[in-house]
């Protein structure tokens, strides 16, 4: 995983409350860092695509269904982290973010977060709107893989 695999990044400074007495970030905070990245990703996607929050989702929402983090090195108190994300895959009702958390050029944590698109009332999965997929395709420099799409070699 290279930093160049991502169009989107956002900085995040490690706070004292996130580190143990030796100054090492507690592992649970990396999921919070990834979540900050997802929020900022959506904010930039909206700005880039001119999409307003919730637009085109019509009573639906994305819910986290799976997270996977692979720890490679530790962040330390006061490190300036570079949180990088991209939507790497679309299914019918799910999508996968790839996450890279860096300190400079050093990859500290890699991971994946899978979200399911669902009706807000019933919490039942629904297809991801094409308008949302189109906005992501325009935003990303590396297009997401799509279920049912032909693989080009």
pLDDT, tens digit, for every residue of 132-146? 899 999 999 999 999
Confidence of residue 131 (pLDDT cuts 50, 70, 90): confident
Cα 82 from Cα 101, distance rounded (Å): 6
**Domain total of the chain:** 1
Joined together, the tokens standing for residue 80 give 């300036």
Q: Are strands 80-90 and 145-146 parallel, antiparallel or unpaired?
A: parallel
* 147 belongs to a structural domain: no
Q: Give the pLDDT mean for 60-69.
A: 92
DSSP 143: P
Q: Which residues of 125-141 are buried (b: 16+ CB within 10 A; e: fewer)?
A: bbebeeebbebbeebbe
Give which of 77, 100, 83 is closest to 26, Cα–Cα: 77
pTM: 0.89
* 150 belongs to a structural domain: no
Question: Using CA of residue 138, residue 141, residue 147, residue 152, what is the dihedral sign?
Answer: positive
Q: What CATH number does the domain containing 63 carry? A: 3.10.129.10
């Amino acid at each position: 995983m290279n930093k160049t695999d991502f169009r989107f990044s956002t900085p995040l400074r490690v706070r004292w409350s996130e580190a143990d007495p030796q100054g090492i970030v507690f592992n649970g905070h990396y999921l919070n860092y990834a979540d900050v990245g997802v929020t900022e990703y959506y904010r930039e996607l909206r700005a880039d695509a001119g999409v307003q929050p919730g637009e085109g989702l019509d009573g639906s929402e994305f819910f986290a269904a799976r997270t996977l983090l692979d720890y490679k090195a530790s962040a330390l108190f006061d490190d300036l982290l570079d949180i990088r994300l991209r939507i790497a895959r679309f299914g019918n009702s799910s999508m996968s973010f790839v996450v890279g958390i860096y300190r400079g050029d050093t990859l500290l944590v890699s991971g994946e977060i899978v979200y399911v698109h669902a009706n807000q009332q019933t919490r039942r999965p629904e297809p991801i709107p094409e308008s949302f997929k189109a906005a992501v395709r325009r935003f990303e420099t590396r297009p997401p893989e799509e279920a049912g799409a032909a693989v080009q070699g």
